[in-house]
Amino acid sequence: MLSLLRPLLLSGALLCGELHAGSSPSEPLLSTSWELYYARSARLLQQDEATLQAERQALRQSDFSLPTPTRRFGFEPDLPAAFYQSAAGRELLQAILSLQTPSGGWSKRTDMRIARQSGQHWGVEPNYVPTFDNSATTTQLRVLARAYNATAEPLYRQAFTRGITLLLQAQYPNGGWPQSFPLRGGYHDHITLNDEVTEEVLSLLYAVSTAETEFAFVDASLQQQAGQAFSRGLKLLLQLQQRDEAGLSLWAAQYHHRTLQPAWARAYEMPALAVMESASLLDFLLSLPKPSVELKQSIHAAAGWLARHAITDQHWHPQLRVLQAKAGAGPLWPRFAELNTNRPIFGDRDGELYYDVHQVSLERRQGYAWYTERPAPTLKHYQRWRTAFNDAAK
C-alpha cells in the first residue's frame, strides 16, 4: 500500500516545495492549503486501498478482480421516481451502493446493474477510481437523490451525503476540480473541462445549493457548503477563460492545477481552445439566473468567438472522415483551436500536431471527433438569452 501512496506523497511534497520557494502570481493561496489538500487526498486513497486489502485478506485472495465493463453505467439514469419503489429499482440501487468507494465516489465504464462482490474493485480502471469523468459520481448522486425522494430510505440519503462530501473535498484550493479524486497523478490531476467534468460538478452543486426540488432534503449546512464551492468554482472558471487579440475567447480542455496554464492530456489532446466543451459550458452559464456583469462579459465573448469562427460550405464526412466542400453545409467548428491564433489544430497518438486534419492517422480520424456541430444550438440559446435579458454585447 505504501508503494501506491509514495508517488502521490512525493508529488505533493514537490509541488508544495515549489510554493515555498516562491509562489506564482496565479497562486495567492498559502502553501498550507495545498499541503492539507494533498494530505486529504492521500488519506482517502489509503482508506480505499486499506478497505480493499482487508477484504482480500479475509477471503485469502492474492489479488482483486474487476467488475463488469460497459460503455456508460449499464442503466438509464433518468428513470421516473416510481421505478425506485419497485423491486427492480431497489436491486439497481443496491448495486449502485455496493460500487460506491469508501471515499464516496464511483467509477466510469462499469456496469452498475451488477452488485460488487467483496474483494472486487469498485471500477474497471482501478487507477481512475473514483472519478468525475464521463459523468461518473454526479450521475449516481442525482439517481440517489431521486431514489431518496421516492422512498425515504436513509441509506440513499447517507450515500448521497458521502458523495457530495467527496465533491467538496475534491475541490482544489483555487476552486477547480481534478478529473479523478483521490489524486492519482498525470493528466488526471489537471483541472478538467473535458467531457463536461467541471460543468457537471458545478451544475450539481448549484442544484444542491439552491435546494431545487430533488435536493430539498439536503441539510442547510451542506447546501451552504455546496453554494460556497459553486461560487469558488465559477470564479475560477471565469479566470480560466482564454484571451486573444480580440479579447476573451473560449476555454481549454484542461489546465495544470497549480499554474492554471492550458495543459496536455492524452497525446492527441493538446493545450488548445476546446470548442465543443466550451459550447457545452456556455449553455450551462446561459442557464444561470441573475448573471453578474463579469459573467455577461464572459458569455458575450465566448458566443462571439463561436460566431466568428463558424465554418460554412464544408462537410465532415462521417464515414470517410475527411473535410469536404459542400455548398450550404455547416456551420461546423474544429474540436480544437490553437491558442492565440485560433487556427484549427489536430493531434495524433505520436504527440505530433497538425493544421490539416487529413495528416492525422486514419485510426485517430475514425476514433476522435475532430469537427463538431455542437456550438450551433448554443448560439441559438445565446440569442434567446440576449432577448430574455434585453442584453447586448458591449
Residues designated catalytic = 134, 266
SS (H, E, C) the chain: CHHHHHHHHHHHHHHHHHHHHCCCCCCCCCHHHHHHHHHHHHHHHHHHHHHHHHHHHHHCCCCCECCCECCCCCCCCCCCHHHHHCHHHHHHHHHHHHCCCCCCCCCCCECCCCCCCCCECCCCCHHHCCECHHHCCHHHHHHHHHHHHHHCCHHHHHHHHHHHHHHHHHCCCCCCCECECCCCCHHHHCEECHHHHHHHHHHHHHHHHCCCHHHCCCCHHHHHHHHHHHHHHHHHHHHHCCEECCEECCCECEECCCCCCECCCCCCCCCCEEHHHHHHHHHHHHCCCCCCHHHHHHHHHHHHHHHHCCECCEEECCCCCCEEECCCCCCEEECEECCCCCCECEECCCCCEECCHHHCCHHHHHHCCCEECCHHHHHHHHHHHHHHHCCCCC
